[in-house]
Amino acid sequence: MSLTVHRRVRTLLFGISFLGGLGSATGVVAAPSDAQRAELRVLIENVTQANARRYGAADSAGRSMDTAKLIKDPAGGYLAAYHTYINGIPRVSVATSSDLINWTFLRELGTYASQPDIRAMPNGSYVLAWEQEPSNHIAFRYYANRGDLLNGVASRSFDTSRTLSSCAEGTPNLYSVQFLPDVDHSTIDVGGHYYWNCDRDRQQLGRLTNFNSWSTSAQNNVDNALLYWGVGGNIGDRDALHYKQNVYGLMEGQYTKNDFGSWRVFIYDHQTGNAEPLNMHTDKGSTAFANPSFTALTAPNGQRAIAVSIFLPSEGAKPGEAGQLIYYRTY
Q: Which of 83, 102, 55, 116 shows the shortest CA–CA distance to 326?
A: 55
pLDDT on residue 12: 43
Residues (pLDDT < 70) of the chain are: 1-29
pLDDT on residue 30: 84
pLDDT on residue 209: 98
Its sign, for the CA torsion 185, 187, 188, 192, is positive
**CA 319 distance to own-chain centroid:** 25
pLDDT on residue 19: 29
CB 237 within 8 A of CB 203: no
**What is the C-alpha end-to-end distance of the chain, expressed in Å?**
18
Count of domains in the chain? 1
Predicted confidence (pLDDT) per residue in 294-316, tens digit: 999 999 999 999 999 999 999 99
pTM, rounded to two decimals: 0.91
- The helix/strand count (H/E) of the chain reads as 5, 20
How many whole angstroms separate alpha carbon 261 and alpha carbon 255?
9
Domain region containing 73: 3-330
What is the CATH number for 233? 2.115.10.20
286 vs 238, 262, 267, 321, CA distance in Å?
A: 20, 12, 18, 7
**CA 60 distance to own-chain centroid:** 23
- The three-class DSSP label of residue 10 is helix
Q: Which residues neighbour 282 within 8 Å (Cβ) at sequence distance 6 or greater? A: 47, 48, 55, 312, 318, 321, 325
